[in-house]
Structure 1
Amino acid sequence: MSIPKFLFLTLLFNLCSCSIALIQQDILAYPRYKVVLTNEKVPESTKNVEVPTSISNTMVMMSSLGQPFSCTIPNVQVERERLEREKEEQAKEETEQDIQATIDRGVALLAPLSKNCIRFFANTHQYWAYEYCHNQYVRQFHVERTHDGKVEKEQETASFYLGIHPGAETKTVMRKVGDKRYLVQEWTNGSNCDLTGEPRQVEVQFHCDKHGQDFVSSFVEVSTCHYQIVVSTPRLCEEMNLSHKHHAESHVIECKPIVPDNLIEQEQTEKEANNAKKEQEEEEEEEAVRDLDILEKMDEKDILLTMISDLTEQINQLKDQMKAKPEVNYYTLTKENAPNQISGKEIQHILKQVKRAESKEQHDNKEAYHQNYHE
């Protein structure tokens, strides 16, 4: 068996082993690896040239069709350390106001839990059942079931309060464990403990769970009459600072197809030709835009010249009208026309009327000229 094939089988076995170990933890919620096929190709002449790094390893794998791939497998431990450093740096930048804002947002997101109580058993063979009622209490009780031949009846024979919600005095804190954050409340003043004589108390934890409904994922008695309950809900996941970010993060195995060198050279040549064609098309488009601008400017010039020509024609028409004005003829009266003789005053009066008519006509012609010019 060749070394690359052996390494491939070893990797496949390890991945399968990880999946089997996580069956009880919902493997769909914890993707560990993601294979990404890239468009970048590796020439055959360099397929055996590995570049060792501290954060990844490179190996050759074969597909079911015999296509070889050069795959880069990340170093999970190095990647995890990098993420931890980033989160530590982010935590240093977080202020008390930021933390309190996250807590307030989380408490508000939990409010709809008050609509229904959650009943559960710590395990399937326990005598006691439990009930969590949000912002009210955590209760332990036992149910006796009887059957009279017709109907099955249930009756509680014992009940103890493990903790009562403090009401307005409730103090909510945010805890950090690794990359996980969750909210914690202390509920006290439960039923008196038979062993200590003190009221029972319970620590209530609220965890983000993207892949489930509202449920109690854990219940333990950490010490005598002191309990711990974990309420898992997708509601908290709406607050990013309380969401399990690492669940969405998977380690990327990047694989590049290994192809003959001449194919890469051919693709490179085609790429250069396409780039040259694209540049030429862009230049032609720019030239077409420039030509269009020139045509638009020429159109504007033609419009202006047409307006000037029209105005010139109107002025010439006015001049012709002025030249075609009828002349006033004066006649000398002789003695032969004595019976029709006109006095000097009447002649002066007639001359004044003629001058007024001439002035009025000149005035009207000027107004017509100005009006046509402005139009």
Structure 2
Amino acid sequence: MQPLILALLASVFQAIQASQTIFSVHDDLLAFPQYEVVFSDSFISEVEASLIIEQASSAVHKSSPARSSNTNSVDLEKRTDSSQDSSSANYVFDPENETYELMYLNGDQHLCTIPVVDTPVKNDTSETRAAEQKELTRATDRGWELLQDLEGKCLYFMSGWWSYAFCYDDSITQFHQLPAQAGKPQLPPQPDPNTSQFVLGKAKRKDKEDGRDNAIEKATRERPRTELQIRGDTRYLVQKMEDGTTCDLTGKPRRVEVQFHCNPHVTDRIGYIKEVTTCSYVMVVYTPRLCSDVAFQPPKEIKANPITCRIIVPEEDIADRTELKLLDSAPEKADKEKPINIGGVILGAGKWINKEGQRMPVPANFGEDRTQQTVTEIIARAQSQADGGKVEAVSDEDLRKLDLDPKMIENLKKEVANMAKEKGWKIEVVDAPGQVREILGIVDGDDGDPEDDEEEEEEEEEEEEEEGSEEVLFKDEL
């Protein structure tokens, strides 16, 4: 729908005949439009629109009486002289930089403001043409000098089954790459000797002959056959390579056109290569080297000139329109979802967690196997007085490895010993997946004493450790 509207506007607005740049058949008007139509959310009254159109029409007649006006007039019978005076301060009238047109869209009348764009003066004198030709020659020579650093280097490009090797100012070869070994990328790619390879083109060299009719290569290399081409606002260097492997279909040698484009954001690399006709190829090479010369730099982005259109509203409907606009904007503010805050982090905010812009540290238990079974480890044990009362306990170093405080365990041993009196006891550490660590004090039971059949359970205060808290429990074993 939008491209159709743009096409209709292009036919309606007869005043649009200027552009910031000279039109080129290579320009993509859909990707780089000269004008952009913007339908504003605001509106304008009939009185103000009529006053703007009439004053714009009179300004055109005063500036050029012989030229017919391209603007349309609005016949609004409801407008009076008093309303004209009261409305004169509600708009900005700038006939030198803007023109005004009326259009109908879906039955509604709109007032469109079109910016006046000065047409660049094209100097087509012989002196100007000579200066342009001189600049093109200079840019071509300078571009060749900037590419000299590629001498002796080769660029590689893989595309499906085929691989390509471009050795600067030498040749371009098409071949099948040897399969790389597992875990060992093969750079540069090596041609498979069991398959055919083709030369797409060779760089031309000028040779001279000695007295014995033997060709001798010049010590000083001649500049290759290069030329500067212009497509729209883009300039690039072209080198044509010929005398490749004879084509089976045409019976002629293969040939390739190499285009060097400036791209300051990449290193020297082949952008793409394609066969435009049978055994005739085009290769595009992106290089930052040409960007040193302003002639090859990419054109600056030119924004489209905005054509702003506002709907025309009768005077008696302005109050209702204003109220309706306020009501339409109210639900947007009320229905706006509140951001979700989890632990001080706003989900979907698109911001770094901390001020330094660093990533969050990986948790210590990240990647642990959650399917593991419960682990129980005895850290202290004592025999009953009847069996000798021998006490065994792990060392302080082992306790620290278990992330336990030796002083805390020593106090627990004394408490459990006081509870057990002459009985045997032990202290166990129980680690269960997804559960809080438990430290159990267990006293040996006596079947002859019914009082020992009672289960006692105590829970001490949680000890704050670096990795979390611990829950300590004491139980009498039945």
Structure number with greater Rg is 1
| The structure with more helix, counted as a fraction of residues | 1
State the TM-score, normalized to the length of structure 1.
0.43
Larger RCO, structures 1/2 (Cα 8 Å, 6+ apart): 1
